[in-house]
Amino acid sequence: MITINRERCKGCGLCTDVCPAKIIMIKHDKPNSKGYYTAECTDNEHCRSCRMCGIICPDCAITIYKGGK
């Protein structure tokens, strides 16, 4: 599973493009305190813990946990 630090995220969408499971989306309802619409994981159960999202994020906003822990 992953967690995304909304205050670090600037909504660039790189993580949504790179995720092989397609479980990250940019949420367009509530911006963070800097005014960015941020990424959210929509289905952590299907995360493959491949780390691609964390590697590509330029703002180190994503933390990956292996095995759902």
Residue 55 in the binding site for ligand SF4 (CB under 6 A): no
The residue from 13, 31, 34, 42 that contacts ligand SF4 (CB under 6 A) is: 13
CA distance 30 to 53: 22
Alpha helices in the chain (DSSP H): 14-18, 52-56
Q: Work out whether 57 is an interface residue with ligand SF4 (CB under 6 A).
A: yes
Contacting residues toward ligand SF4, per CB under 6 A: 2, 4, 9-15, 18-21, 23-24, 38-39, 41, 47-53, 56-57, 59, 61-62, 64
